Structure formats: C-alpha cells, structure tokens
Amino acid sequence: MMPKEYDITGKVVFITGAARGIGRGIADVLAEAGADIALNALTPKYLNGTCAEIAKASGRRVEPIVADVTKADSVKRAVDEVLAKFGRIDVMVNALGDAIRKPLAALPGKEGSVAASDEDLRFVMDINLTEALLCTRAVGPHMLARKSGKIINIAAWTAKTRGGEMVLYTTAKTALAGFTRAQALEWAPYNIQVNAIGPGQFPDIVTAGPQRFQEITERARKNVPLARHGQLREVGLLALYLASGASDYMTGQTIVLDGGLGL
C-alpha cells in the first residue's frame, strides 16, 4: 500500500511544454498517480494525441491548452482556461525548455564556431526562464488565496556544474535555480512549495529520432557514471514526490537527477 502522503488523486496539475519529452514523462506519471492534467504546447500538432493517449492509459481527465507561454497575455489566457475547466490548480510544472549550442562569441581556432545572435539569446532565455516566471506569476494569486500549492521548475544538471558550449542554456537554467530559491522564500509563509528538478540526459526517441537516440545512448554508456541515459518516467517519479504531500517540508531546492554526470 502506498503511503498516503504520495496520494495526489484528484489534484489538478498544469504542465507546460508537455506534448513530448520530459513534460510528457511527468504527465504520464502524475496522471497514473491520480491527477487530472492540463497539458500545454505551442501548437496542437502533438498535443491532442498526447492528451488522448494519457487519458486512455490513466482514466484521468487530460485537457489540451494551446498557448505560447513565453508571452504574458497568452499565459494569462492559458491559466484562466485551466481554472475555468478544472476550478483550481494545485501544481504548476514549468517544463518548457530548449538549448542552442552556440558560444557567446565566436571561438578562435574552432572550426564552425558561430556566435549566438540576439535572437538566439532571447529565445533561450524566454523558453527556459521567462516562461517559468510568467506561469508562476499567473498562478500566484490563485495559490496565494488558497494558501496551498506546488511549483515545480525543470532546470538542468548544468545549473549546478559545468556547462561548456551551452553558455546561454546554462545561464538560463542557473537563473531558474536562483528563481526557485527566491520564490520559495517569498511564498513559504503561504504554504506554497517551490522546487526544481535538474535532469541530465533524458532523450525522447520521438523528438530525437532513432539515429540520434542511439548516438545519445552510446555516449551515455561512456560518459555517465551509471552508464546509461535517464528514462523519461524517472523524471516523472521525482515530480510525483514534489507534487505530493511527501515533499511538504522541502522548498527552494534543485534536485539533480543525472546518473552522476555532474560529479
């Protein structure tokens, strides 16, 4: 029998960037654990099918929310839509993210080195940091009024260790870890816990494609101390802990889940 503290039956969870990848892995586990889910993506291309699959597998209510969560007006509309459909939001998971492998300035002597453009900088910051701030701000009044809530940010293992060739991504995710600490302190008096997960290598075969997925698998065998990459479900299992009452005494933390990659 599962400890009652892990029971999230009937909780409402809003997850951004959830049509595929880590967001999808989190949605699968939380729905399996009994939560009703609002899944966000920029377009319905993969989102509607993902919602249908999770609903069928879990028996829970899973609703698509199409919105650009890097834009304040769009975020407000999305949160209002979730509240209209479900009546509340118990857990906000800011899972949207992406990386660009470009240096801040072109590196002399390195073939193919191209500096990140202004557009690259804005994109990486918006998709990894701004979206989390906007979504957290948008659900804030609701959670603060109820004096209850969980915020889960998806940072990265590089937020606590090295980040070579990923300077923009590492900067955004490190800032996200800092935001997690600061927001946790600000909302602690209102019984809202704010934590983050720092995943290592968690490839999605759908987005990576079979060849790229195999390359990542082989590299992980050599570079990761546990000799494998992570499974998307494993991030979901950690998110379940952070979404449940079991983590009520934890706040402001970024938990690295990387198979030892950052050691």
Q: Which of 46, 169, 190, 241 is catalytic?
A: 169
- CA quadruple 208, 210, 215, 220: dihedral positive or negative? positive
pTM above 0.85, yes or no: yes
pLDDT in tens, the chain (263 residues): 789 999 999 999 999 999 999 999 999 999 999 999 999 999 999 999 999 999 999 999 999 999 999 999 999 999 999 999 999 999 999 999 988 888 889 989 887 788 999 999 999 999 999 999 999 999 999 999 999 999 999 999 876 665 556 889 999 999 999 999 999 999 999 999 999 999 999 988 888 888 988 999 999 999 999 999 999 999 999 999 999 999 999 999 999 999 998 88
Q: What share of the chain is helix, strand, coil (3-state, %, to 5)?
A: 50, 15, 35
Angle at 74 between CA 72 and CA 79, to 5 degrees: 95
169 is an active site residue = yes
List domains and CATH numbers for the chain.
4-204+232-257 (3.40.50.720)
In 3D space, the residue among 116, 76, 123 whose CA is nearest the CA of residue 97 turns out to be 123
Distance CA 181, CA 172 (A): 14
